[in-house]
Structure 1
Amino acid sequence: MHAEIITIGDEILIGQIVDTNSAFIAKELNKIGVSVYQVTSIQDDKEHILNALNEARSRAQIVIVTGGLGPTKDDITKHTFCEYLQDTLVEDKAVLQHVEGLFAKYYKDRPISQINRNQALVPSRAEVLQNDFGTAPGMWMVDKETVFVSLPGVPFEMKNLITTKVIPKIVKQFKTPHIIHKTIVTYGIGESALAERLEDWESSLPDFIKLAYLPSLGKVRLRLSAKGEDKQVLLGAIDKECSELHVLINDVVYGIEDEETIEEIIAQLLTDKKLTLGTAESFTGGQIAKEITQIPGASAYFKGSIVSYATEAKTNILDVPKAIIEKHSVVSAAVVKYMASSAKKIFNSDFAIATTGNAGPTKGDSDAEVGTVFIAIATPKEVICEEFMMGAQRERVVQKSVNKAFEMLQKEILKF
């Protein structure tokens, strides 16, 4: 079964906002065995919408549209669906009551206008999907063999409707195959070198299992995907292939990622082992701390971070001796080891990550070449330090270093 996703909004096409809705919807559909054939972003234009709907239904059984459902005149999705399905708008009393209730609760000093009441107008053939978090309802419409779903473009409203209304209806009304994914994440080896190592194994994969290489900064994710009717057969086949894969690349694998990032894996390790972490960051500018604290419950194991960007912050806050900096330079193993030790002491944590480096475009306070990076991990027993050359592009240097720091930390945590 195939689905298509259409996002409506000039703001997407001019780069004012990033379309995250399509990624979320595709991920949720994939979980229930629905393959997304195409994703399209289009203008708030009637002819453009009509053409996109026609094209999508020629390829997919389910067409999900987000955006264009607001109360203003430029939101034309409902009217366009009426023209497309030869339907008319009618007032849905339940939606009107919901809109009035929202205004009574959140906008007590603001009278509800007719333009807001018009949110209750829906195509007469539509099954209304109640939007708990906003005024624009979702709509489920069927025309011949195609299901059209129209959802608000506001991400948190759309996500709630997808998970609580749309996905359950699809599961109830359609028989879909199982799609199983398992992702193995590797560090320290490039995509081409990895592909060369796996050539014979990849050629012997069963027809119903596909391998995808997903390279990013400092790592390559290998995603195995199996699709079929028997879930247990798929799971068994995936596990067998993963075991064989591990034998071939065990030296560069850090773990299996099933909807989990390395930060989440580290979070679980620290939680399970009742260990804590602090950070002292220079050129990474707090990015490590940011990725850690995006995980709910991080306060249980993350003590805090010091962003010692300037040299004086390293000496005044982290007590790095000036003599060490003068002798070795601010971008050095000696300095980053002091940073890690001090962070561990300041936060009274079991582990600490420290970074110093030259991300460019100029050399700053050090003569080190752009891309030179030192990362240290302070553990309960010692301080581990490694030097890397991360390239010349600033964003790339920072993100590769963040990934490498997490990789190093995970290896050290597993020793305890």
Structure 2
Amino acid sequence: MIPRAVILAIGDELLLGRTQDTNTAYLARWCQDHGIRVVRSAILGDDEAQMVAAMAAAAAEADLVLITGGLGPTRDDRTRHALAAAAGVPLRQSASAWKQIQAYYGRVRPGEAVPESNRRQALTPRGAQLLRNDRGTAPGLAVAVAESWLVALPGVPVEMYAMLERLAPRLATWFPQHRIPVVQELHLCGLGESAVQDQLGDLLEGDGRLSVGITAHEAGHITIRVVGSASAGRRRLAACAALLGPWVLPEAGVVPSLVHVLRRRGLTISAAESCTCGQVAALLGAVPGVSAVLEESLITYANQAKIRYLGVSDWLIEQNGVVSEACAQAMAEGMRLRSGADLAVATTGIAGPDGGTRAKPVGSVWIAVASRQGLSTRCLQLHGDRQRIQRRAAIAALRLAWEHVRRPARTPNP
């Protein structure tokens, strides 16, 4: 039998939209990875009575209730109180929880006394199991209610992530008949989601041994994910890869895959950025091992910077404008020659909110990649605020670099 789960995210800041709830999505993925079916999720405010009602209802419909938030040291952090009420047990001061809090405080603020307000975090429902918090002061709590387990986790994401590692081993005790499935993934770039669906057809259908899902990522790639039997999953992904070979990525994402291929081939890359203001370099720099391939990056925002550092001619800018295919090509080729890198990426565009025209509205971006094998260019029309346009342009530029490395343009460079 597959355990069922309900996820409850708690906090007025979530309910009122002041803070984005990312924990629910993370917990849902964690549940899928551990073979647990999420049947419902909800966001609740800091009202204790509403929390108690929601926890009791969740316990009646699920085997596992994951609760995030409301374990802080202030008076409005009422999750532990609601948890005790839902379980029908009193709260008590836990000496073990207090020792954990003191030990953490001693590590991060040696020599300082633990504030008295943190004693609230040592309040635990009678009979609760403690989950140690290695990243903060709030211990996690697990309480059995009838046939369900209610688990309260910190709302601070980094604390919750670490605590889930401590929670995972307990699943075997709580649900002894459950076997955690194997999760396997195949990553693709260069095909749209509908094209993948058309090519794979029934291979994307689940069966009794496997569940299969497909996800398109803003970062420019697609993931096919199979959950279930290890052997059946391997066979299914091998069949998918056989049909989609040219588009299969060696790593989980376009940018890590680009770095992987450049390292394997002994190639280097550089970047000349205008509208993206360093985000191409930042995406590359986030990949471990990039020092072996990244030569240099320049932000050439002003026209004179493009002329001075990249050798773009003022005549070309005057004739075509800086947001043009010709300028992007000249920037990429100029950066390749300047840096000596095997591959150079360039971006130029209008990130907004001002500067757009009827011919070139906000979101107009040209990207280019230059190598000894030739030039690749692409025109983008992006939407969103300035930050979103910049990020999407940077991702698109590195995706074009990936495509260029895999399928070089035939136009010869002089």
TM > 0.5: yes
TM-score, L = length of structure 2? 0.85
Q: Residues 197-212 of structure 1: matches in 2 within 5 Å?
A: 197-198=198-199, 201-202=201-202, 205=205, 207-208=207-208, 212=213
Work out whether residues 336 and 344 of structure 2, in 8 Å CA contact, stay in contact via their aligned partners in 1: yes
1:321 aligns with 2:322: no
Supply the distance in 1 between the matched residues of 2:60 and 2:282 (Cα, whole angstroms): 44
CA, structure 1 residues 25+304, in 2 after alignment: closer, same or farther (shift >3 Å)? Answer: farther
Work out whether residues 217 and 399 of structure 1, in 8 Å CA contact, stay in contact via their aligned partners in 2: no
Alignment partner, residue 20 of structure 1: 22
In the TM superposition, residue 134 of structure 1 has moved relative to its aligned partner by: 1.5
Alignment partner, residue 308 of structure 1: 300
Most deviating of 349-358 and 304-313: 304-313
In the TM superposition, residue 77 of structure 1 has moved relative to its aligned partner by: 0.8
TM-score, L = length of structure 1? 0.84
Supply the distance in 1 between the matched residues of 2:363 and 2:250 (Cα, whole angstroms): 29
Q: Residues 219-298 of structure 1: matches in 2 within 5 Å?
A: 221=222, 223-227=224-228, 230-244=229-243, 246=244, 253=247, 255=249, 260-298=252-290
Aligned residue for 1:320, secondary structure, equals coil
Alignment partner, residue 388 of structure 1: 379
CA deviation string 1:138-172 (max 9, x = no partner)? 11211221011111111111111102x11121145
CA deviation string 1:1-33 (max 9, x = no partner)? 222221111111222222222222222222221
Supply the distance in 2 between the matched residues of 1:28 and 1:221 (Cα, whole angstroms): 19
1:81 aligns with 2:83: yes
One-letter identity of the residue aligned with 1:170: L
In the TM superposition, residue 36 of structure 1 has moved relative to its aligned partner by: 2.1
Alignment partner, residue 137 of structure 1: 139
5+ unaligned residues in a row in structure 1: which ranges?
Answer: none
Q: CA RMSD in A?
A: 3.1
CA deviation string 1:164-187 (max 9, x = no partner)? x11121145431352645355354
Supply the distance in 2 between the matched residues of 1:393 and 1:343 (Cα, whole angstroms): 29
Alignment partner, residue 401 of structure 1: 393
CA deviation string 1:255-284 (max 9, x = no partner)? 377xx1211212222333333222111222
Supply the distance in 1 between the matched residues of 2:117 and 2:158 (Cα, whole angstroms): 22
One-letter identity of the residue aligned with 2:96: A
1:99 aligns with 2:85: no
Identity among equivalent positions (%) equals 28
Work out whether residues 84 and 125 of structure 2, in 8 Å CA contact, stay in contact via their aligned partners in 1: yes
Alignment partner, residue 168 of structure 1: 169
Work out whether residues 390 and 401 of structure 1, in 8 Å CA contact, stay in contact via their aligned partners in 2: no
Supply the distance in 2 between the matched residues of 1:30 and 1:385 (Cα, whole angstroms): 40
In the TM superposition, residue 212 of structure 1 has moved relative to its aligned partner by: 4.9
Work out whether residues 104 and 134 of structure 2, in 8 Å CA contact, stay in contact via their aligned partners in 1: no
CA, structure 1 residues 272+169, in 2 after alignment: closer, same or farther (shift >3 Å)? Answer: farther
Supply the distance in 1 between the matched residues of 2:322 and 2:375 (Cα, whole angstroms): 18
5+ unaligned residues in a row in structure 2: which ranges?
Answer: 409-414
